[in-house]
Chains A and B, each alone.
Chain A
């Protein structure tokens, strides 16, 4: 979908405001309720994999719930055509559960009292070795907002230590500047995942009461910094259950669309973190977000973004993941430990959320094969690109 000349260079904040997607009290809810079966069928007749806001709103509307099977078949077929019958596997490496933010929904909230842990570089490398021994060559470094310890220097050093073992190193850590992202790209990190959590300004302010993450606009600008710094992979997402998921999906798609148009060399992926029981977190104020909603969101996004990655973590139940991988998923984590030091089992540290798929990587790989897909541990061999010692 072509951007209008007038808004070509508008930033995502302006775009969301103009479309009323940063304010969930606006007209969108009624608009989505008013979508008819005919609207949905028209959306389904548009070329699979192409995006426009009108099309996506039809596909995530309540009316589209009657069309899930048809959408799923289309999404499956499109994914197989573009990605082949393969699923990539990755593992998260939690470096620290210290955090200076106080996000209401998170187990790592600064205000929560529990024993915190950080890994030294050597400890992190030890964990990474265990991950590699399971077969992984794709690793995601994760940390709370713990800049003083898990600093840019630390991450750069760790990346340097890991780049020989892993063909892909990504990170999901606190937001940093474009120059810092560029520095880490040079050090060997090629992807960054950073969730807006919610695109609704009011909700954002409510859930992110304190710390660096409390600035909505700053957070919103992160993916552009990431892509602008040259990172190859940009991971986007919202925390499902905080607000109305349909509206969040629309905002998320608009955000993805701006990144794709402006940074043609970066690849965008969507993740679907769903609120899970977390130690110390009250779950009464959250919105419902069931499996059916997750399915609809995933296949609607797939039908609008033919080449985007769809990433699923071990937050979801095993049986659900097994069914979801036929619906357009391109990347899965397996055997995850969400506490620092969890792989070596050395510590009893608190995990960020409870895992619901606790199968081993080997078991997950078997499941993938049973479903007619090939598990891919590493994408391509970077060895020949590294300068060889003379």
Chain B
């Protein structure tokens, strides 16, 4: 069985799904179902006490999905740690997507604060899944700190630009001893398949599904793409051959002996 192991828990699906940006809770729940995902991310926000709120958590069957709270909104390690503890108190789950994004334009993750927060949270018993830019050294630092995965971005959140960080992702995948989940910027199922063919262990998709004209169909498309990409990776694809230009022979001297 080609199961995905994160923190010694086995999963069949290599597609993680985010729940933001959907038009409604019902649509979100249906898309999550169609995606086959087993891990579902959610965010924490202050309750708007002036208005009645749509309670989206009720739409997710907690017995079916592992709820992965993220710390989106945190701009530094201290805020992230606070949000993490709130999330753990709310759900009793100690899994956490660590997201520290001080930049409100591109929502790029802060490497320094992320590492700081990860070190604190791992020590406090959290299973930490850190969202980072595709920085191979940072990935190793986080792994050394004890995070359960690394989650490098393919391109900025919501940009749907695909694997812009391909070269760095390849290095991360090669060097990692923990699962690599490509998160953010995957806009099409083919991007997701590409990431899986490269050897990523899983992908996390939100915007591309939530903002599609038909999110439920798109969720299914991503599900199939992730499966196809993974099977392709495991079946040992032959790369396009690019033969070196003939130049002077390097092993001729062996014949002269």
Binding site for B on A (CB under 8 A): 1-3, 5, 8, 42, 44-47, 50, 68-70, 72-74, 76-77, 261-262, 264, 291-292, 295, 319-320, 323, 326-327
Contacts and interface: CB of A to CB of B under 8 A. Distances in A.
Interface residues of B, number: 24
A327 B250 contact: yes
Contacts of A69: 249-252
B177 A291 contact: no
B241 interface: yes
A76 B250 CA distance: 9
Given A73-B250, A261-B175, 5 more contacts: A68-B254, A69-B250, A73-B244, A261-B177, A327-B250
- Secondary structure of the B side of the interface? loop
B239 interface: yes
9 contacts: A1-B174, A2-B201, A8-B177, A45-B238, A45-B240, A68-B254, A72-B250, A261-B177, A320-B253
Interface of B: 5, 140, 173-177, 199, 201, 238-241, 243-244, 246-247, 249-254, 257
Given A42-B238, A69-B249, A264-B140, A50 B254 contact: no
B177 A295 contact: no
B5 A292 contact: no
Nearest to B141: A264
Contacts of B239: 45-47
Contacts of A68: 251, 254
In the complex, which of the residues B239, B244, B249, B251 has the most CB atoms of chain A within 10 Å of its own CB atom?
B251
A292 B254 contact: yes
Contacts of B201: 2
A48 to B, nearest CB: 9
The 10 A-B pairs at the shortest CB distance, nearest first, are namely A72-B250, A73-B244, A323-B253, A5-B5, A45-B241, A68-B251, A264-B140, A72-B251, A69-B251, A45-B238
B253 to A, nearest CB: 5
A291 B255 CA distance: 10
Contacts of A262: 177
Given A2-B173, A77-B244, A295 B140 contact: no
